[in-house]
Amino acid sequence: MIIRDLGLVEYEPVVADMREFTLTRDDTTDDQLWLLEHQPVFTQGANGDPAHLVNPHDIPVVNTDRGGQVTYHGPGQLVAYTLIDLRRKKSGVRELVGRLEQTIIAMLADFDINAYARQDAPGVYVDERKIASLGLRVKRGACYHGVSFNIDMDLTPFHYINPCGQAGMEVIDLTSLDIKLDMAEAKQRFVAAFQQQMQTGK
C-alpha cells in the first residue's frame, strides 16, 4: 500500500483526484492510503437529508458521492482516504468499515480510552459521543473516501449540523479527552494500526 501525506488541502480537488484514480486503476494498481487535513467544509453524502444541515454559517457546503449524511471537516482532524481494490482483497464495504472503526478503537485503547462502534450508526464513539466518522464509495470493485478522526480541532461547526444525521449527537476530539497528540504522530499511529487491521482483520 502506497501512503501519501497531502497536508492541509481543499476538499473538492482531492475528491476529484480520488475519483479519477479509482476510475483509471486496473488489477495491478497498488492500493493507496491518503492522509490529510481539510480546510473547513461541510460535506453532504449522496443520500443525505438537507434538513440535517441546520445552519452552515459561512462554511462551504459540498455535495459528495460518499455514503452517509452531513459531516464537517476542518484543520486538526485527521482524514484517511482508503483507495483499496476490494475485489482483489475479496472484501466488502462493511468489512472495511469495521476495520477502519477497529483502527481508531485500537489507537484510543493505547491511551486507555474505551471506544466502541455502533451497528446502527457507523463511526467510533466514547461515552455516547462521536470522535470519528466514516463514509465510503465503491466503483468498479474499488473503494474511496474513508474515515475522519478528530484530533485537536475547533468543534463549533458540528453544532451547525446534525452530525451524520444524528440530532443532538455530541462530537468530541482527543483534546476533549485530555489527550495531546500532534498530527504527525497521529498519522504514524493511524498507519500502524490500520496496517495491522488489514493484515489480521481482527
Residue 200 has pLDDT above 80, yes or no: no
Query: Tens of pLDDT along 21-41?
Result: 999 999 999 999 999 999 999
CA 31, 32, 35 angle in degrees (round to 5)?
A: 160
List residues bridging with 156 in a β-sheet.
none
Residues annotated in a binding site for substrate: 66-73, 133-135, 146-148
State the amino acid at position 112 in one-letter form. D
- Range in 75-84, 88-97, 167-176 with the lowest mean pLDDT: 88-97
Q: Determine the average pLDDT of the residues in 71-86.
A: 96
- The tens digit of pLDDT for each residue in 132-141 reads 999 999 998 9
Q: Which of 133, 130, 160 is nearest to 60 (CA)?
A: 160
Catalytic residue among 100, 151, 164, 186: 164
> Nine-digit cell at 101?
472503526
Binding annotation: 66-73, 133-135, 146-148
Edge-first strand order for the sheet with 142-150 is 2-9, 32-38, 77-85, 142-150, 129-139, 124-126
What is the average pLDDT across 61-69? Answer: 88
Domains parsed from the chain with CATH numbers: 2-200 (3.30.930.10)
pLDDT of residue 202: 43
**Segments of the chain assigned E as strands:** 2-9, 32-38, 41-44, 61-63, 71-73, 77-85, 124-126, 129-139, 142-150
Q: What are the distances in angstroms from CA 10 to CA 14, 37, 133, 142, 195?
A: 7, 9, 19, 23, 26
- The torsion angles phi and psi of 179, rounded to 5 degrees, stand at -110, 125
Mean pLDDT of all residues in 162-186: 92
What local confidence, expressed as pLDDT, does residue 119 receive? 85
Instruction: Give the model's pLDDT for residue 51.
Output: 87
Residue 184 has pLDDT above 50, yes or no: yes
Q: For residue 56, what pLDDT is reported?
A: 86
Question: What is the reported pLDDT for 199?
Answer: 86
- pLDDT given at position 80: 98
Over residues 113-138, the mean pLDDT reads 93
Q: What is the pLDDT of residue 194?
A: 95
143 flagged as catalytic: no
- Average pLDDT in the chain: 93
Question: For position 110, what pLDDT does the model report?
Answer: 95
